[in-house]
Structure 1
Amino acid sequence: MGAAKTQSSTSPPERRSSKKVVPGPRDPEALQPFEGEALSSWITTLAEDRDIAVKQLLREFHLHKHGALSMGETRLDPPVARRISRLTGVDEQALHAMTLARYAGNALPHLPLSPEANAKDAGQWHSSAWLCDRRIRWCPRCLRENDGRWPLRWLLPWTFACLKHSVYLESECQRCQSVVTFGRLNSVRPQHCDAQTADERFRRYGYDETCDFPLAMSHPLRVRDDTVLALQTRINEWLDGVPTVDDRQLVSLTAVLIMLLSPSMLRRGDPILLFAIRSLRAPRPHQKRELWTDPLRVAAAACAADRILERSESAAQVARQIADLRIVDYRVVPWELDVMDWAYGPALRPNPYLEELVKRHVITVGDFRYH
């Protein structure tokens, strides 16, 4: 008995799995990112595939110094990119293409050169940039087909429709009607609605609980106007860096109309867009700086911009037409454009349409008046 106890107490510990924390470049089990995938989505999926914590993988990649995965997704430092490429076999250019730096020249102006260089500038950029890093949007059918993995383009407000499935992107939980957000550190791909709900129907234990509705089970709205898909294609070309002059004009005017949109600008087209403007989805005063987070409103602004540009040639004519249409809808109060939106909003500065609208007192920029 004593000998048995001694033998069992001194027996060697169980051997841990030989599965490596990070697959090497020649490892057949290496999980490759799909085309256009976000860096946070790929890293989270890789951690789940290797059955390790995301924080452990971030330390292995030397991404933990950024403070959060979202900061690493902004722009990868070259040494970090080389290390991740050496450990996983993923090409460095592919890794950089999974970060928001690929849109620094168009959709995300003033992108910080390094998240660690100036924390104040990086924080200001994150709080003011037109970036859906808190309020998310998604295509439920894509989530089901891609096992819950997220494209990088879904982080941009300019993506309002899924070209593959011809549906509008979702931005609200269809169960509790709450806006769906990323996690606190943006290190986990959202799969369920985590909003706290006080609705009696969802309170199983008598107190507020998370909604927990699966995002992939949402029923998206079908796009009923092919023009919406054509406009999304043109905006994607602008995002990819190969736009025409007409595409740039479209994006510039769309950025302005996101703020100035009124029902008279959408007398034809997809009726769901007109409903989105007239319904209770209209923003409250404290939400006006984030109008671009609603995919239906962005789609409506793109449709309105396309139709106005068909009938007007110069920026002055466009501004006069917008002012007239807003008067028809009794929108006579000038729109107070926040200085931060003016600085960080893509296609807002320089913008010929914005200057003409300021001249007509349709828009005011803080205490600024155009003379």
Structure 2
Amino acid sequence: MVTVWPRRLALVVAPVHGESFASWVDRMALRNACPPWAMVEALGLDVATSSDVRSLAYGVVAMPETCRAIEAATGVSSEVVRGMHLEVFDGSVLDLAGVRVGDKESVRRAEGREWVQFFGSRVCPTCLVASGGVWLAWWKLGWAAVCPTHRTLLVDLCPRCRVSVRRGPAGQPARLSRSRMPAPLRCGALLSGVVCDQPIPQISTGVVSDKLADQQQLVLAVATRRRSALIAGQVVSASQWFAVLKATALLIRLGVPEVLPLLDTTLDGQGALAAEAGGQRWNRAGSVGRFGMAPRTALVAAGLLAVALEVAAAESESELVARLMPLAAAGRMQWKQRRPDLLTLVALPSVFTAALDAVLGGQARRQ
């Protein structure tokens, strides 16, 4: 069978390092004066109907033949194309092994399980303006809390429409438009058929500490495998390191409100965490129950990140136990009631499991 590649495009925009695939497609569409649906079709993706967008795992994973088609159409290498998809984080901060292109149910399950927004995003307004509308892939991660460059909290909710920026109707992924031109500097969320045109550069955000900005930079370095992951002085895999952060976050949430005075975060951050934990639905049987939901806001993510990284930074097993002890004490009653099973089903490093067993008196392995 002869492979038919898409025709080479005359106008190509070079991807920016770290840019998300959807962002690049939008900028390509603007450069070629066509709507995103037409741009994606020109790149060789199968978009026979607009409803197919959800099942394409758009911007999440890309099949090798898709990457080759895009390379044929643009000259952008398959490796760079793949790097614009969230699968670049697979095996570190995300587990996308079960996501299959063309299977929207696998996409739905993965987004519910993983700490990520497949179709929405947080954003640094200053970065967005400086880049002329480039949306970075890591802004989609659940651990995305602050901009390490500008040292400000990321924006997640639009002040005008009050939903996550870039989201589609009713929290669903937005379909690629056949007629509307993209607007990278605006919210773009779709509500009741109306696109929110809130200018993102006009959204204010708060300044964060240098320490928190450096912690965010560490998270990105481990997520992209540019830095080794350590727990209690022992080298662990990136996926194990992030499992430790999630397990610590669950301990924190289980301890609300008793744990709040122990947290190295702002009063606003404590309030946001308390409000989220109060409305959290826990599912003991499923993956959500094991880890808890991904942080709903950047403010909550920042609070969890600051404490979880303090725990992960312990240089010895005894120090790890000491840092876990107050969190475990605050959440002991809630732990008994909810009995989360994450420690029996997730690949946590043995040094962390041993520390949890020490502070929880053997409850860490309860079934």
State whether residues 249 and 304 of structure 2, in contact with CA within 8 Å, keep that contact through their aligned partners in structure 1. Answer: yes
Matching of residue 285 in structure 1 with residue 247 in structure 2: no
Instruction: Specify which of 259, 265, 275 is matched with residue 250 of structure 2.
Output: 259
Partner of 1:217: 202
Aligned to 1:369: 366
Root-mean-square deviation (Å): 3.8
Change beyond 3 A, Cα 1:311–1:299: same
Q: Which of these residues, 32, 46, 53, is aligned with residue 64 of structure 1?
A: 46
Q: Which amino acid aligns with 1:34?
A: V
Q: Distance in 2 between matches of 1:318 and 1:221?
A: 31
In the TM superposition, what whole-angstrom CA distance separates every residue of 1:282-315 from its partner, at most 9, and x where no partner exists?
451338842434222222223213333556732x
Match of 2:221 in 1: 237
Decide whether aligned partners of structure 1 residues 150 and 310 sit closer, same or farther in structure 2, where only a CA change above 3 A counts: closer
Match of 2:92, SS?
A: coil
- Counterparts of 1:273-312 in structure 2 under 5 Å? 273-278=269-274, 280-286=275-281, 289-309=292-312
Match of 1:74 among 46, 57, 60: 60
Judged with a 3 Å threshold, the aligned counterparts in structure 2 of structure 1 residues 176 and 91 are, in CA distance, closer, same or farther, namely closer
CA 1:189 to 1:103, structure 2 compared with 1: closer, same or farther past 3 Å? Answer: farther
Displacement of 1:168: 1.3
Q: 2:326 aligns with which of 324, 327, 337?
A: 324
Contact 1:276 1:296 in 2 (8 A): yes
Q: CA deviation at 1:125?
A: 2.2
SS at match of 1:332: helix
Work out the CA distance in 1 between the residues paired with 2:97 and 2:221.
20
Alignment partner, residue 103 of structure 1: 89
Between 161-170 and 128-137, the greater mean CA deviation after superposition: 128-137
Aligned-pair distance for 1:161? 1.4
Who is 1:7 aligned against? none
Output the CA distance in 2 between the equivalents of 1:276 and 1:113.
32
Give the letter for the 2:250 counterpart.
Answer: M
- Structure 2 CA distance for aligned equivalents of residues 37 and 125 of structure 1: 21
Evaluate the alpha carbon distance shift between residue 45 and residue 283 of structure 1 in structure 2; reply closer, same or farther with a 3 A threshold.
Answer: farther
Question: Which of 45, 62, 67 is equivalent to 2:27?
Answer: 45
Q: Taking structure 1 as the reference length, what is the TM-score of the superposition?
A: 0.72
Contact 2:7 2:72 in 1 (8 A): no
Amino acid at match of 1:236: L
What letter matches 1:164 in structure 2?
T
How far is the alpha carbon of 1:172 from its aligned partner? 1.5
Structure 1 residue 159 displacement after superposition? 2.1
Which among 134, 137, 140 is matched to residue 125 of structure 2? 140
Q: Secondary structure at the match of 1:34?
A: coil
What SS does structure 2 have at the residue aligned with 1:108? Answer: coil
1:185 pairs with 2:174: yes
Q: CA deviation at 1:23?
A: 5.9
- Residue segments in structure 1 that go unaligned for 5+ positions in a row: 1-20, 198-207
Deviation at 1:106, TM superposition (A): 0.8
Farther-moved stretch of structure 1 (209-218 vs 334-343): 334-343
Distance 1:152 1:310, change over 3 A: closer
User: Closer, same or farther in 2 for the Cα pair 1:291/1:123, shift >3 Å?
Assistant: closer
Aligned residues: 325
Which ranges of structure 2 fall in alignment gaps of 5 or more residues? 1-5, 177-181, 232-237, 253-258, 283-287
Could you tell me how far apart the structure 2 residues matched to 1:340 and 1:219 are?
37
2:15 to 20, 25, 33: 33
Pairwise CA distance, 1:219: 0.7
**CA positional deviation for 1:137:** 0.9
Correspondence 1:155-234 to 2 at 5 A: 155-175=140-160, 177-183=162-168, 184-185=173-174, 187=176, 191-192=186-187, 194=189, 212-223=197-208, 225-234=209-218
Tell me how far apart the structure 2 counterparts of residues 244 and 143 of structure 1 sit (CA, whole Å).
29
